[in-house]
Amino acid sequence: MAQAYMTETGNSSGPEHSGSRFRRLFDGWRGDRRIWRRGIALAVFAVLLALVMLLHAHIPNTVGNLGSLIETFLPWLGLGVPLLLVLALVRKSATALIAVVLPAMVWVNLFGGLVFDKSGSGGDLTVVTHNVNAENPDAAGTARELAASGADVVALEELTQEAAPAYKQALAQTFKYHAVEGTVGLWSKYPMSDTRPVDIKLGWTRALRSTVDTPKGQIAVYVAHLPSVRVKLNAGFTAGQRDNSAEALGVAIRDEPIKNVVLLGDLNGTMNDRALSPVTSQLRSTQGAAGDGFGFSWPAAFPMARIDQIMVRGMEPESSWTLPQTGSDHLPLAASVKL
């Protein structure tokens, strides 16, 4: 009988045992009045984290473009929530535990919708954009992968004069029409017309515009590669040239007479970056509307930010996704839209 009793009570599996662990964890807090006085510093950090995420648009860019830098990596601030939670438990601080709820709620409000799969099925047009990287060691292989993606329209950025022929040759069998302006190019299964460079105030061509005649009607396709940004210890987040180009691109899109517009490109900034508002305020992100997850595209080896974008006007995003890594330091992006 004693042996049977030991066997029954010694069973350490099941939800009851898990619950007992939590009870033992908090039993030590009962009667400890210091749980409200400990962890004040952790609570302050939690409140500050919540305020940074909630009021990011009000963080000034006057010093090193700090606001834009924070907005570029804004989703990653959510990692502070589990860290603060663990520290609050270790510190046995009820005050800190309650405070951690604030940044958790703010993060869920900002990015919770991106966690779930919102992609649908179908769509009238599939588009792909890819910064192929000027130093890509396998231009032909990258082009073949993009051709096999099932896209109707493909935009490439960072094309070089040396690599452009390889892309043209590899994409020619899949896409009957194409145009290259400066370092950007557009390939399409459907006829293209009125193709011309777009002046984004750089002194050389890194953007183009073309009319694509799809079976469901005309769409204006913009391909753009905005200037790169840098993070420097003595200057902060240097993005002045990119911001000027974004403003010029926004003017071109604003003046576009065709209702249906697609913007494909490397904008070197995220949808949260207020400096890109001349563009993002006019267009809808396919990832935000119909994506699965955050869709980070850079750097390809460990994506941390979605600086490549597919945005639309006058069309309904059906699905949005990233394609497998190529020889570039960016991931290709794809989206299906309904006209």
pLDDT in tens, 71-103: 999 999 999 999 999 999 999 999 999 999 999
Is residue 169 one of the residues assigned to a domain? yes
* Whole-number pLDDT of residue 122: 83
115, 135, 151 - which closes a domain: 115
The count of domains in the chain is 2
pLDDT of 66 reads 87
145, 59: one domain: no
Minimal CA–CA distance to 306: which of 268, 278, 277, 280? 268
Q: What is the pLDDT of residues 261-291, one digit of tens each?
A: 999 999 999 999 999 999 999 999 999 999 9
Helices 94-115 and 40-54 cross at an angle (nearest 10°) of: 30
Residues 268 and 307 in one domain: yes
Same domain, 90 and 136: no
Same domain, 254 and 185: yes
Query: Can you give the pLDDT at residue 121?
Result: 84
**Cα–Cα distance between 325 and 158 in angstroms, integer?**
16
Claim to verify: residue 148 and residue 75 sit in the same structural domain: no
What residues have CB less than 8 Å from 256, skipping those under 6 apart?
209, 220, 222
Task: Give 187's contacts (C-beta < 8 A, 6+ positions apart).
Answer: 153, 154, 155, 156, 171, 174, 175, 177, 178
- The answer as to whether 21 is a domain residue is yes
Q: Which residue has the tokens 């004040």?
A: 40
On whether residue 43 sits in a domain, the answer given is: yes
Among 249, 239, 154, 253, CA closest to 206: 249
Tell which residue, 246, 199, 198, has the closest CA to residue 65: 246
Q: What is the pLDDT of residue 7?
A: 46
CB 296 within 8 A of CB 305: yes
Residues 105 and 181 in one domain: no
Domain end point (choices 50, 85, 115) = 115
Q: Is residue 120 part of a domain?
A: no
Q: What is the pLDDT at residue 21?
A: 61
Q: Helix/strand/coil (H, E, C) string of 236-282?
A: EEECHHHHHHHHHHHHHHHCCCCCCEEEEEECCCCCCCHHHHHHHCC
In a domain? residue 191: yes
Query: What CATH number is given to the structural domain containing 216?
Result: 3.60.10.10
Report the pLDDT value the prediction gives residue 263, as an integer from 0 to 100: 98
Provide the pLDDT for residue 290. 94
275 and 230 share one domain: yes
pLDDT in tens, the chain (339 residues): 445 444 444 455 555 555 566 566 566 666 677 888 899 999 999 999 999 999 999 999 887 788 888 999 999 999 999 999 999 999 999 999 999 999 999 999 999 999 889 998 889 999 999 999 999 999 999 999 999 999 999 999 999 999 999 999 999 999 999 999 999 999 999 999 999 999 999 999 999 999 999 999 999 999 999 998 876 555 455 677 999 999 999 999 999 999 999 999 999 999 999 999 999 999 999 999 999 999 999 999 999 999 999 999 999 999 999 999 999 999 999 999 999
Distance CA 215, CA 339 (A): 10
Describe the crossing of helices 80-91 and 40-54 by its angle, rounded to 10 degrees. 160
Q: How far apart are CA 190 and CA 123, in angstroms?
A: 16
User: Does residue 155 share a domain with residue 42?
Assistant: no
One domain for residues 190 and 333: yes
Range of the domain at 216: 125-338
